Amino acid sequence: MLASERTGTRHLVHAWPDQGSDPTVHGLHPSADMVSNASGALHVQAYFDDTQELAILLGEMFRVSFPAFYTKYEAAFLAGRWTVTDPGPLLGRVLVWKLQVMPHQDGLDAGPSIIFNMGKFTGGECYITDLKLKLLYRPRDVIILMGGALYHGIGPWKPLPGITEDGITPGRVSNVWFFPHSSFQVLENKEPGWALKSAGGLRGTGSELDSSNWDSESD
């Protein structure tokens, strides 16, 4: 018997602009996958809770590998963070669920990104084509690279037989943690909590809301 399975991507980004929009005019906001609906938002919050320890470990690896980027990313992350359970310093995460990944550049990235994978599969080596490198890339391996500057891709992979105790079918899941360049340009030099206080830059950060945004006849 054959059965189909959903594949695709999820973009979990704390603060970024709509595609093609000027963030200085239209502001920053969480990605649609972060706040798609009430039940989805709860699952996203649980995801950040469950991956908090992992994020701390990866953040430390990032700090050692790229200390200058870590310092400026951490400050910008604290300005744009949507949920406090994410320790940062990278503002966005992409989950690529059981898709083949062709050579590409991550043109939205401001600098280094973290990539790692999980699942049950064979193959899936990492190719950094600009450097003519082929890297062994297994679950639990971590690569930190300038994904916006270097073409990279994943070799063909095939699922191994078997289902996990949690009922997850085999296959390969990619994780890409990054900082969008457009978001960094807005968040750089902003105070911690700026995105939440200012509605992504659409209103002032004072203690009182702009009265022009409210119906004067509401009382």
Per DSSP, the residues of the chain read -------EEEEEESSBPPTT--HHHH--B--TTTSSSHHHHHHHHHHHHHTHHHHHHHHHHHHHH-HHHHHHHHHHHHHH-S-TT---S--EEEEEES----SB--TTBSS-EEEEEEEEEEE--EEEGGGTEEE---TT-EEEE-TTTS-BEE--EEEPS---TT-PPSEEEEEEEE-BHHHHHHHTTPPTTHHHHTGGGTS--SSS--GGGS-TT--
Segment 148-199, tens digit of pLDDT: 999 999 999 999 998 878 788 899 999 999 999 999 999 999 999 999 999 9
> In the prediction, which pLDDT does 219 show?
43
Q: What integer is the mean pLDDT of 122-127?
A: 96
pLDDT of res. 20: 78
Percent pLDDT > 70 in the chain is 91
Task: Between 152 and 40, name the one with better pLDDT.
Answer: 152
What count of other Cβ atoms lies within 10 Å of the Cβ of residue 195? 25
| Amino acid code (one letter) for 146 | M
Percent of the chain with pLDDT over 90: 73
Domain limits, the chain: 8-200
All residues at 6 or more sequence positions from 171 whose CB lies less than 8 Å from its CB, including other chains: 5, 98, 119, 120, 121, 159
Domain covering 8-200, topology: Double-stranded beta-helix (3.60.130)
| CA distances (Å), origin 179, targets 39, 42, 105 | 26, 23, 14
β-strand partners of 164: none
Task: Tell me the pLDDT tens digit for each residue of 81-115.
Answer: 999 899 999 999 999 999 999 999 988 787 999 99
Q: Which two tokens stand for residue 123?
A: 């193959």
Taking the C-alpha atoms of residue 64 and residue 41, their distance in angstroms, rounded to an integer, is 32
Average pLDDT of every residue of the chain: 88
pLDDT above 50 for 214? no
Tell whether the model's pLDDT for residue 209 goes beyond 60: no
